[in-house]
Structure 1
Amino acid sequence: MAPVVPIGTAPIEIIRHPSGRDLEEPQGFATWIVLRRTESTGTAGKESIEAAAADLGDVTLRGIYDLTGFRGDADLMLWLHGPDAAALQHAVRRLRRTAELAGTEQTWAAMGVHRDAEFNKRHVPGFLRGIEPRAWVTVYPFNRSYEWYLLPAEDRARMLAEHGRRGAAYTGVIANTVSAFALGDWEWILPLESDDLVELVDMMRDLRAVEARMHVRDEIPFFTGRRIETTDVMEVLA
């Protein structure tokens, strides 16, 4: 009954900050793959998902999530991260060919990379800071309004500070914001983790009542699920 545990450590790279300071900052890509069960068996191999997950090199499988009951088009979600996007692509293909996942089809995917977050230039996603995964996750893409990036910097800073103060009250939530410009249809991917599902619900509702909310263009779909063990995958897909 081996649990899905993070394997490997993101590399540390010295980054030249625009201010001229050198920042020692973990760099990494992340991808989220949403799957649903089909009648097809695909091109199943003999390798198990547990064996594959333990042998992904620099890629870490942060979690497998049960999405049952949250959406009609999704049963399972994978969250992987690593220093190289091509390595993530290879890892996803390998996992998709395992005996457990060959009978699924992909319904959604997103790729992101750690860059400066607009709300906090020093924000480093929890998954790159060695923070252990939490029991629940909600993942959603995000686009700002067309006007947002043309607003005076001081106005954006004021609104983001309000947003940050409101979110900071939810101390059990781990933020993992990554940049997604040019990697798909979205500007940011926001994965939020907590051991308390209701805390995620309350925080998302509370953050609706801030001024920055007026500058949101897109923030769907949402994918929310419970982190499971590799040995539970077949039961979820049965």
Structure 2
Amino acid sequence: MTHAPERRQVVRFAFYKLDPAWRRLSAERQASSKIEFGETIEGFHGQLLLRPYGLVGIRGDCDFLLWQVAENLDALVALQTALNRTDLGAYLSLPYSYLAMTRRSIYEFPEDPGQPSRLVIRPSDARYLFVYPFIKTRGWYMLPKAERQTMMDEHVRVGRKYPSIRLNTTYSYGLDDQEFIVAFEGDQPGDFLDLVMELRESKASSYTLRDTPTFTCVQMSLWDMLDTLGGAGAAQAVSRRPARADGYTPAASLADLPPGSSMRVYAAGEAVALFNVNGTVYAISNRCTHARASLSEGAVDAARCAVTCPWHAGVFSLESGQVLDGPPSLPVATYRVKLEGDTVLIAPAEAREASVAG
């Protein structure tokens, strides 16, 4: 089946190490530098998806990971530039940083209903993330594709024996030193250990050139992760910050969403599709419930106030999220929308409301 072209996502795994000299600063400066660093990251929430993970007590050469997913390299560059300008950033080094992109696999796994989601990274709430760079031998690429497909089929069969482990494969050919970055999510490190041991016995494993270093990372909140660095705590202070009573989160600038346009943003770790239909802004989950295609790439029917999935022609109402036509059986989540000046704010739907621009 031929799919409509879709923008790929850019993915970065950035592993940071703290200079111990930071722990000799005053408690006041430690706390303020953590809060500045965390708030800088929060300021990018509409531009990229970011998940923080701690490695303190697990590895000695890095302290935390920021798993970043964006629509373009510019967002990653802007975030790192902003972090470098912070007080805490002056005490951080980057011993490991891996760049990759999403794409569909060249191998066919028709029995895998989750295969189309390779273009869209959607981290789970799993406790652990296991990450490593991966390079195949040149001999692998000299094999006939049918032979490689057979070995990959075996590889996948082994993987499916461990349903508690979820794989995210991203591609680095020409972008970075490795060919792939693989990131496995799971709640039990023992399950991942057993999976890797069994995969070592697969035929495809003999064509592995490099699959180290390996990082075991613990998912935690941004503020809890920063507190693993030691020094004065930030999580408790941040928990006392006043929050918006209405539950809305800034998602985009209206100037970037003119009438007739759509865009994908990130809020609370979720990809959200925004649509400006004749001056009215709508927000729905970006992921098609049928095959996880990016709905922000779909065609909009202003008369029906609906979007058509770019892959399988499923049609969803922008107002209710309900399926209007096509193969999907489940609706997509909707969000409430509010405009404050040039800012588009969204909140999880309770009673659906659209917001009229201007």
TM-score (norm 2): 0.55
Give the structure 1 partner of residue 69 of structure 2: 81
Q: Structure 1 residues 138 and 97 mapped into 2: Cα distance closer, same or farther (>3 Å)?
A: farther
Give the structure 1 partner of residue 351 of structure 2: none
Aligned counterparts, 1:25-64, within 5 A? 27-40=8-21, 48-56=36-44, 57-61=46-50, 63-64=51-52
Q: Which runs of 5+ in 1 are unaligned?
A: 1-18
Give the structure 2 partner of residue 11 of structure 1: none
Q: Does the CA-based 8 Å contact 1:137-1:225 persist in structure 2?
A: yes
Distance 1:193 1:225 in 2: 10
CA offset digits 1:52-103 (Å, max 9, x no partner) = 2322132111x21111233221111110101101211211232344455542
Q: Does the CA-based 8 Å contact 1:59-1:91 persist in structure 2?
A: no
**Aligned length, in residue pairs:** 215
TM-score (norm 1): 0.81
Q: Which runs of 5+ in 2 are unaligned?
A: 23-29, 110-114, 231-358
Distance 1:230 1:186 in 2: 28
Quick one: higher RCO (CA 8 Å, sep 6+), 1 or 2?
A: 1
Q: Does the CA-based 8 Å contact 1:137-1:193 persist in structure 2?
A: yes
CA offset digits 1:18-58 (Å, max 9, x no partner) = x6x124656201101111110355xx986633322322132
Distance 1:22 1:207 in 2: 31
* 1:172 partner letter: S
Distance 1:30 1:229 in 2: 20
Point out 4+ residue stretches in structure 1 off by more than 6 angstroms.
none
Identity %: 24
Select which of 92, 95, 104 maps to 1:107: 95
> What's the secondary structure of 2:138's corresponding residue?
coil
Aligned counterparts, 1:79-158, within 5 A? 79-120=67-108, 122-125=115-118, 128=120, 130-158=122-150
Q: Structure 1 residues 233 and 205 mapped into 2: Cα distance closer, same or farther (>3 Å)?
A: same
What is the root-mean-square deviation of aligned Cα atoms in Å? 2.4
Task: Return the offset for 1:118.
Answer: 4.4
Distance 2:98 2:200 in 1: 24
Distance 2:59 2:204 in 1: 28
Q: Does the CA-based 8 Å contact 1:67-1:77 persist in structure 2?
A: yes
Distance 2:122 2:138 in 1: 35
Q: Does the CA-based 8 Å contact 1:147-1:215 persist in structure 2?
A: yes
> What's the secondary structure of 2:79's corresponding residue?
helix
CA offset digits 1:192-225 (Å, max 9, x no partner) = 1112222222211111110000100011111111
Q: Does the CA-based 8 Å contact 2:104-2:118 persist in structure 1?
A: no
CA offset digits 1:146-190 (Å, max 9, x no partner) = 111110111101000000010011112121101001111111110
Q: Structure 1 residues 130 and 25 mapped into 2: Cα distance closer, same or farther (>3 Å)?
A: farther
Which structure has the bigger radius of gyration?
A: 2
